[in-house]
Amino acid sequence: MERYAIITAGGSGVRMGEELPKQFLDLDGKPILYRTTELFRSLPFDVTVIITMNQAYSRWWIDWCHREQFIFPHYETCGGITRFHSIKNALKYIRPGGIVAVHDAVRPLVSTQQLVRLFALAEQHPAVIPAVEMTESMRERRENGLVPADRTKFFSVQTPQMFRTEVLLDSYDTAYRESFTDDASVVEAKGYPLFFCRGNRFNIKITTKDDLLLARCLFGREIVDPDLSFDSLIK
């Protein structure tokens, strides 16, 4: 069974307020995108890597890879106007009969334990989505202000999201909708069931300067998945 990883690196990083998009910022001497890509290259099985790239920075990435001799077989495709369009561009490189992980380039702290576990789960379910329960007290914005919300009803969804390749190909054979916030929402709209498993709180998405500071504190430490069970979060 062939395994793929689509790494989404098409963002402009406006919220970070840096000259370079966040996926190219430094994490312990290397770009974040490099750290994320290496996670999939370090797995005990082969994974075909496909990077959706912001074309304004493609030359920067190519030059860095050549300078650092980071040369490995992979595909690069144009990032689209939305995540949906970026993934659709990447799908031309995958074939039915395999498993594809779709992962944010700016999540370089996912554990290799969890990647192996998620690929294994995707052999049992057509779509596997990691999520974590909310731990903070929550409030909901309404017209009369911020009102208390029941945090037990909410989960934070992470990547990588794992799919049978034929499921993702079929699901993306549709027109874009604003409700497509991630790949899970596209697959769900096509009628495929989603299997929600436990994610890892250390698998943060680097979006702000605070996130980057936290990632730099965590990087290099042993990140162990606290729950390696294959149980669904939905009881």
The rounded Cα 185 to chain-centroid distance in angstroms is 14
Q: How far are the Cα atoms of 68, 164, 215, 216, 218 from residue 28, in angstroms, in the given order?
A: 15, 34, 10, 7, 11
Alpha carbon distance 107, 88 (integer Å): 21
Which residue has tokens 């969890």? 114
Q: Which amino acid is at 183?
A: D
Report the sign of the C-alpha dihedral through residues 95, 65, 43, 7, in that order. Answer: negative
Instruction: Note the pLDDT of residue 17.
Output: 63
Walk me through the domains of the chain, giving residue ranges and CATH numbers: 3-218 (3.90.550.10)
The answer to whether the bond into 160 is cis (omega within 30° of 0) is yes
The pLDDT assigned to 220 comes to 85
Tens digits of residue pLDDT in 2-32: 999 999 998 765 566 667 899 999 999 999 9
Give 55-64's long-range contacts (Cβ < 8 A, gap of 24+): 55/79, 56/12, 57/20, 57/21, 57/24, 60/20, 60/24, 61/24, 61/31, 61/33, 64/24, 64/31
pTM of the model: 0.93
pLDDT at residue 168, as a whole number: 98
Rounded distance, CA 45 to CA 82, Å? 31
Q: Do residues 59 and 76 touch, judged by C-beta distance below 8 A?
A: no
Name the 3-class secondary structure at 68.
coil
The rounded distance, in Å, linking the Cα atoms of 53 and 10 is: 5
Q: What is the pLDDT of residue 233?
A: 67
DSSP β-ladder status, 48-53 and 145-149:
unpaired
d(CA 26, CA 48): 24
Low-confidence spans in the chain with pLDDT less than 50? none
**% pLDDT > 90, the chain:** 80
Q: What separation in angstroms does the CA of 90 have from each of 6, 28, 80, 85? A: 7, 29, 10, 9
